[in-house]
Amino acid sequence: MDYPLQLTVNGVAVKRIVEPQIRLLDFLREDLGLTGSKEGCGTGDCGACTVLIDDEPHHSCLTLAVEAEGAAVTTVEGLVTDDKLNEVQSAFVSAGATQCGICTPGFVVMATAYLRDNPNPTDDELRMGVAGNLCRCTGYDTIMTALHSVIDGKVELIEVAPEPQELVPEPEGEL
């Protein structure tokens, strides 16, 4: 059976017909082509599929698309504003907090929401706060470094696709 679905995704209104067994994760990835959200487990145990639903972090793998009716969904693709990575994204790049990158989208979505709600956590609170996001590559070390740099307000926002600089000027005259 097909159901009409209306929601906004990254600020854009979306209208589609979906079958009820389609999870929000499938809908984002297959119907909208937003493959930034990943499926690491499908059971809510790894956090790679984390998206914001009405500003709160949820597992898109445990959410039926039809249950997101009327919601505002933000995926990792929606975190960039004015051609700049957000603080958490920028900090991840600078600190080397992304290795293979598969956990990164869910991790930055989760950490963005967590630090918005808890701007000044202790290291232990921070670790508990993001414990639902597994990373197999980094051992979390550089991720913690990145998130602490956000907490300490030491992040320089990184520009997406910056203009390249000229390497070396041509010498005057003909050689």
Partner 1 sequence: MRRFDYAAPTQIFEACALLADRGDDARALAGGTDLIVQMRERGRKVPLIVSLRNLEGFKGISQNADGALTIGAMASGNEVHHSPLVQKHAYFISEGAELLGSIQIRNRGTLGGNVGNAAPSADAAPPLVAAHATASIVGKQGTREVPVGDLMVGPGQLALEPGELIQSFTVPAQPAHTGTRYVRHVPRREMDIAVVGIAALVSLEDDLATIKEASVVLSAVAPTWPHATTAEQTLRGQQISEKLLADAGEAAAADSRPISDVRASAEYRRMMVDVYTRRALATAIERAKTAV
Partner 2 sequence: MAKVVERPQEKTALRVANKPVSRIDGVENVTGATKFGADFSLPGMLWGAILRSPHAHARIRNIEYAKALEAPGVVTVATAADFAEDVVEPTSRPHNVFAGDFALFLGEPVAAIAAVTKEDAEAALELIEVDYEPLPHVLDPEDAMKPDAPAIRHGDGGDIDRTEMSFHSSVASSAEDLDESGNVSSQVQFSRGDIEEGLAEADVVKEGRFTAAMVHQTYLEPHAALAHYTPSGDMKMWVTSQGQFYVRDTVARLLKLPAHKVIVQGTAIGGGFGGKMTLLAPIPAILSKKARRPVKVVWSRSEELVAANPAPYSVIDVKIGAKRDGTLTALQGRVIMDTGAYPGSPMSTATMLLGSCYVFPNMELEGFEVLTNKVSVGAYRAPGAPNSAHAVENVMNWVAQALGMDPVEFRLRNAIKEGDRWPNGQPLPDVGGVEVLEAIKNHQVWNTPLEQGSNGKPRGRGMAIGCWSGGAGGSAATIKLEADGSFSVLVGTINLTGSTTSIAQVAAEELRVPLEYVSVHQGDTNEAPYGPVAGGSQVTYTVSLSAAAAAHEVLRQMKGIAAQRLGADVDDIEFDDGKMWAQGDPERYVTYRRISDEAVGSTNGPIIGTGHGKPARGNPGFAGTIADVEVDTETGLVTILNLVGVQDAGFAINPLSVEGQIQGGTIQGVGYALLEEIVYDEDGSVRNPGLLDYRLPTAADVPNVDTVIVEKHNPYGWKGTRIVGEPSIVPPGAAITSAISDALGIPLHNMPLTPERIVMALRDARSNGRSNGEPTS
Q: Which residue number, 30 or 83, has a Cβ lying nearer to partner 1?
A: 30
Q: State which of positions 25-84 bind partner 1 (CB under 8 A).
A: 42-45, 47, 50, 53, 56-59, 61-64, 66-67, 69
Size of site (CB under 8 A) for partner 2: 68
Decide if 20 contacts 81 (C-beta within 8 A): no
Q: State which of positions 136-155 bind partner 1 (CB under 8 A).
A: none
Residue 123 beta carbon to partner 1: minimum distance, rounded to whole angstroms: 13
Decide if 126 contacts 80 (C-beta within 8 A): no
Q: To 5 degrees, how large is the angle CA 37–CA 39–CA 45?
A: 110
DSSP 99: S
Q: Which residue number, 2 or 70, has a Cβ lying nearer to partner 2?
A: 2
CA distances from 34 to 2, 24, 105 (A): 21, 11, 11
- Give the Cα separation of 127 and 141 in Å (integer): 10
Give the CA radius of gyration of the chain.
19
Q: Could you say which of 7, 24, 103, 150 contacts partner 2 (CB under 8 A)?
A: 103
Q: Which residue number, 3 or 140, has a Cβ lying nearer to partner 2?
A: 140
Helix (H) or strand (E) holding 112: helix 104-117
Q: State which of positions 7-26 bind partner 2 (CB under 8 A).
A: 19, 21
| Binding residues for partner 1 (CB under 8 A) | 1, 3, 19-21, 23, 42-45, 47, 50, 53, 56-59, 61-64, 66-67, 69, 110, 113-114, 128-129, 131-133
